[in-house]
């Protein structure tokens, strides 16, 4: 078997896609991995360059793979997109990541520590307590904001989360 020098790893919820090439750029491996077998797969490989599309869970996998001796680089998704040659799927994304990580002028995201990530969660949560022009008239956004006014059944007009807490109920309670 040829030596793998570069790997593109497309991470997902339960199935990860691996695309590996040798020093000449020839494809050596292209396969899917279950979440539970990712670390055992990379333990068997000699240290190599691994590219991962940057997201919240990519920082966790970067730390885990660096602990095994691999060099991991996180790439912003916007910089991977130009390298996708065909339709968007996990295999095509892994191939694009593998190609993008070897480019000399590519910008990478530094791996965050668990403390840095928890700090970001705190800042994002705190940001929800302030009124924002991009959030419109709703008190908050995302899956946790599915709220309705008890009297009118519409989304409440308010200046912040704290003002809304006494007037709202979840959609499941509203539908009863």
User: What domains can you pick out in the chain, each with its CATH number?
Assistant: 6-114 (3.30.420.40), 128-174 (no CATH)
**Distance (Å, rounded) from C-alpha 133 to C-alpha 122?**
21
pLDDT at 78: 92
Phi, psi angles (nearest 5°) of residue 156 = -70, 145
**Distance (Å, rounded) from C-alpha 174 to C-alpha 148?**
7
Residues 6+ apart with CB under 8 A from 125: none
**Distance (Å, rounded) from C-alpha 61 to C-alpha 67?**
10
**What does pLDDT average to over the chain?**
80
* Percentage of the residues of the chain whose pLDDT score is greater than 70: 73
Token output for 174? 């509203």
pLDDT band of 155, cuts 50, 70, 90: low
**What are the CA-CA distances from residue 166 to residues 41, 159, 173 (Å)?**
51, 13, 15
**Distance (Å, rounded) from C-alpha 94 to C-alpha 136?**
37
- Secondary structure of 105-120 in the HEC alphabet? CCCCECCCCHHHHHHH
**Distance (Å, rounded) from C-alpha 41 to C-alpha 43?**
6
Token output for 88? 């968007």
- Secondary structure of 27-87 in the HEC alphabet? EEEEEEEEHHHHHHHHHHCCCCEEEEECCHHHHHHHHHHHHCCCEEEEECHHHHHHHCCCC
pLDDT one-digit tens code per residue, 9-61: 999 989 999 999 999 989 999 999 999 999 999 999 999 999 999 998 999 99
Q: 3-class DSSP state for residue 138?
A: coil
């Amino acid at each position: 078997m040829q030596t793998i020098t570069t790997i593109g790893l497309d991470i997902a919820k339960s199935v990860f896609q691996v695309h590996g090439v040798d020093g000449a750029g020839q494809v050596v491996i292209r396969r899917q991995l279950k979440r539970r077998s990712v670390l055992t797969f990379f333990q068997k490989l000699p240290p190599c360059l691994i590219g991962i599309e940057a997201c919240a869970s990519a920082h966790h996998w970067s730390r885990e793979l660096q602990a095994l001796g691999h060099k991991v680089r996180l790439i912003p998704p916007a910089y991977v997109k130009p390298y996708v040659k065909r339709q968007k799927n996990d295999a095509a994304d892994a191939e694009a990541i593998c190609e993008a990580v070897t480019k000399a002028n590519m910008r990478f995201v530094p791996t965050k520590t668990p403390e840095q990530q928890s700090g970001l969660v705190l800042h994002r949560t705190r940001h929800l307590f302030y009124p924002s022009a991009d959030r419109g008239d709703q008190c908050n956004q995302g899956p946790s904001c599915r709220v309705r006014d008890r009297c009118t059944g519409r989304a409440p007009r308010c200046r912040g989360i704290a003002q809304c807490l006494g007037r709202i109920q979840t959609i499941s309670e509203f539908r009863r």
